Structure 1
């Protein structure tokens, strides 16, 4: 198997769906491991250390949301793309709040799923030429992939980190939600602007600075005065 792009863990209890997803990820150069139940998936994630996890919310045993919560509580920030058969905004928002990086509702194209995982992984890439960024007491280092507030470390998901980095590169600029969807998610045609709002709220909460990101009504978001 050609696994040059790393191992993707598929947590999916429907064999036919898992088989299709496995083939598409393998064709894209990923190694693939499939688990069909939450408790077993948690154990194998700890053992195999995948580069990304595709996580069905409605899996047997430990559900996907609980599995994500447990990983994040352990300090495991492996990128997670949630999938579900339910088009429920509450599930979608809860998944993001628990530390998910992206979300797809069934049915979807397996090509889109592979593209979404690739997008999340690009957001985790370290920019070796990027200087550290600082706005007020918020510091972000893209080479080390770290964020600190007044010297205290802050854990962000890959998407939260990419969103904050994009805002901090041009702290005087206000970005529209549509621009942020395109620049950070790369999927403006599929995701809604509510996704941006939820992620901004999560970043603010984790930074402990509600004014670290300012809202400009009718326009979008920019970095604020976080002193």
Structure 2
């Protein structure tokens, strides 16, 4: 795999280039947004959202406008990331992160890109290429976690997915515990989809995606 790394901090860029090389990934490094926009096509783009010469949001929009090249946004911890899907990014990774974490994120994005691009469940459609979700053809704006939760349930509509599997898949295996995080995101997702019947709760087991009655 050949990727374009857009990172203006040399102390971050050099270890990333070397670390990715150990996984067989060739990283072309550029330090400015202008250089990124002028670069030759690669298999994936890793974009530091804080490059100084061009606004990161504008770079993201322009790099992702064709939808052909996967794009991962690298953000400072605490930066807003809920707009990443709207800008065309496939995923985001908050700094600091390890090279294995980045590679795992890259592989997950590649797997999603190879999946069926549009999933249909009645009036609900999910375009995994553009991260666009529509209900009755009306766009629905979701946070990254809400989107990941919905796409996980949509992999097999009607099948019950356990709470533990959802937490490990969406929040990662190191997630500290169940708490109310999952229930909060389910409630928010139901509200945004416009009908609580979209996501059924099987008490003590998990959740499933279903057509509202």
Residues 85-139 of structure 1 deviation map (CA, whole Å, 9 limit, x = unaligned): 3x22x51223344333333332221222122212221222247xxxx96521446
2:13 equivalent in structure 1: 18
Asked if structure 1 preserves the Cα contact closer than 8 Å seen for 2:167 and 2:175, the reply is no
Query: RMSD in angstroms over aligned alpha carbons?
Result: 4.5
The alignment's TM-score, normalised by the length of structure 2, stands at 0.67
Aligned pairs, number: 202
1:214 equivalent in structure 2: 199
3-state secondary structure, aligned to 1:93: coil
3-state secondary structure, aligned to 1:94: coil
Matched, 1:168 2:154: yes
Residues 130-155 of structure 1 deviation map (CA, whole Å, 9 limit, x = unaligned): xx96521446799x999997998x9x
After TM superposition, list the pairs within 5 Å mapping 1:1-227 onto structure 2: 6-44=1-39, 47-48=40-41, 50-72=42-64, 74-85=65-76, 87-88=77-78, 91-126=80-115, 134-138=120-124, 166-175=152-161, 179-183=165-169, 187-189=172-174, 197=185, 210-211=194-195, 213-214=198-199, 216=201, 222-225=208-211
**Distance across 2 between alignment mates of 1:168 and 1:42:** 35
Residues 175-225 of structure 1 deviation map (CA, whole Å, 9 limit, x = unaligned): 46653353367x34269958x949x85xx97xxx54494375998753242
Change (3 A) 1:104 1:162: closer
The alignment's TM-score, normalised by the length of structure 1, stands at 0.64
